Amino acid sequence: MKDLVIKYLGKLVLEQSSKDELINKVLQLQERDKELMDKLTNLYQSKREAGECHKETIEEYKKRIVELIKKLTHYEVVAEEYKRVADLKLGNTYNINATWIDKIVFVLKASGRPLRSSEIVDILLKNDMMFRTLTGDHQKGLSAHLTKALKYGRIIGTKQKGQNGYIFSLPE
């Protein structure tokens, strides 16, 4: 109801106004519209510039992240190398130049529990660079050394019911 009254009164006021007053009113409205359009245009332009600035900032951050990841991986490699050197000096790791049987015995001692051959293979793959490059089939490559270690009595192979293969442990 209020909208209808305001609309009616607006028409009544416009009809009672003179021609000069109406022209001035139209000019004022056009000036106000022009100012609003300028403000809107400036706002859109500033938003576009801010968006471009943010894109540039994001690209800079992406570059920095890539650089930091590269540095992190380099530092991890260096830290791992220092850890290996420290372990060698402290005697906490097996000798890389040791025989395969000695390496197998060391892995069983370090684990503190009986292991399957697949577990021994996994440990050697993670820790011995020579083992990774030695054979194509790591299980077959290790099998001969496990057989020798069993023959010489350095390790004991125990067959468990319902499982394929042996579980290897150290003699007591």
DSSP 7-72: HHHHHHHHHHS-HHHHHHHHHHHHHHHHHHHHHHHHHHHHHHHHHHHHHHHHHHHHHHHHHHHHHH
Q: Which residue range forms the structural domain that includes residue 150?
A: 100-169
Asked which of 47, 62, 88 is the last residue of a domain, the reply is 88
* pLDDT above 90 as % of the chain: 12
State yes or no: pLDDT of 161 exceeds 80: yes
Maximum mean pLDDT: which of 3-12, 62-71, 110-119, 125-134: 62-71
Instruction: Indicate the pTM of the whole model.
Output: 0.46
CATH number, residue 130 = 1.10.10.10
Is 84 in the same domain as 6? Answer: yes
DSSP codes, 63-122? HHHHHHHHHHHHHHHHHHHHHHHHHHHHT-S--TTS-HHHHHHHHHHHH-S-EEHHHHHH
Decide if 17 is inside a domain: yes
Decide if 139 is inside a domain: yes
Asked which of 41, 64, 88 is the last residue of a domain, the reply is 88
* Number of domains making up the chain: 2
Is 21 in the same domain as 77? Answer: yes
pLDDT band at 155 (very low <50, low <70, confident <90, very high): very high
Q: Are 80 and 131 in contact, with CB atoms under 8 Å apart?
A: no
Is 79 in the same domain as 108? Answer: no
Is 17 in the same domain as 81? Answer: yes
Residue 148 to residue 142: CA distance in whole angstroms: 10
Q: pLDDT per residue over 73-108, tens digit each?
A: 988 888 777 776 655 555 566 666 778 888 888 888
